[in-house]
Amino acid sequence: MKSVPGSLGTTTSIALRFGQVIFSSSSIFFMSLGVGFYSYTAFCFLVTIMGLVIPWSFTLAILDGYSILATFPVHQSGIFMVIIIGDSVLSFFTLAAASSTASLVDLLLKADVSFCPQRLCCRYQISAAMAFLSWCLLLISSLSNLWLLPWLDAD
């Protein structure tokens, strides 16, 4: 059985999953600090997607931990397919939400200072940056599991 760093049941995977949880939580935290985020569709979209990434990544981190501690490697291609599709869909949504937020903050900063004070807009920028980092980690997780898929079928 070939092992790919970052695929299900490896310590790298746990690190990636916890990274996703931390960055997504930070993104929601910085967005929710400004109470006016629900006025903009893109900001609401970001909060919704980050709210989906947190339980998804946390559940998979627990599955990774169980797989390592109980020395019970998960080799079913069905489980891998579900994880790859879930990771890919969430990574696309995360990228879309992060780009939407970034472009909106850029416009708000340009448009009018009273419309979005410097301090509030800075928080939104940090939130978008955290979402981008979360996207990177989701993509790495997805690609690692995808890379292992042909070997699972071959076994």
Residue from the set 104, 116, 133, 140 that interacts with a second copy by CB under 8 A: 104
Among 14, 42, 121, 140, binds a second copy (CB under 8 A): 42
Select 70 or 78, whichever has its Cβ closest to a second copy: 78
- The two tokens of residue 33 are 């600090």
Site map (CB under 8 A) of a second copy, residues 108-147, x = contact:
---x----------------------------------x-
Asked whether the beta carbons of 110 and 41 are under 8 A apart, the reply is: no
Please identify which residue in 4, 96, 122, 129 interacts with a second copy, judged by CB under 8 A. 96
In the block, which residue shows the tokens 């937020």?
101
Q: What is the x/- site pattern for a second copy, positions 7-26, by CB under 8 A?
A: --------------------
Chain Cα centroid distance, residue 34: 21
107 is a site residue for a second copy (CB under 8 A): yes
Under 8 Å CB-to-CB from 145, ≥6 apart: which residues? 4, 6, 7, 8, 80, 83, 84, 87
Tell me the helix, strand and coil percentages in the chain, rounded to 5: 85, 0, 15
Q: Which residues bind a second copy (CB under 8 A)?
A: 40-42, 45, 92, 95-104, 106-107, 111, 146, 150
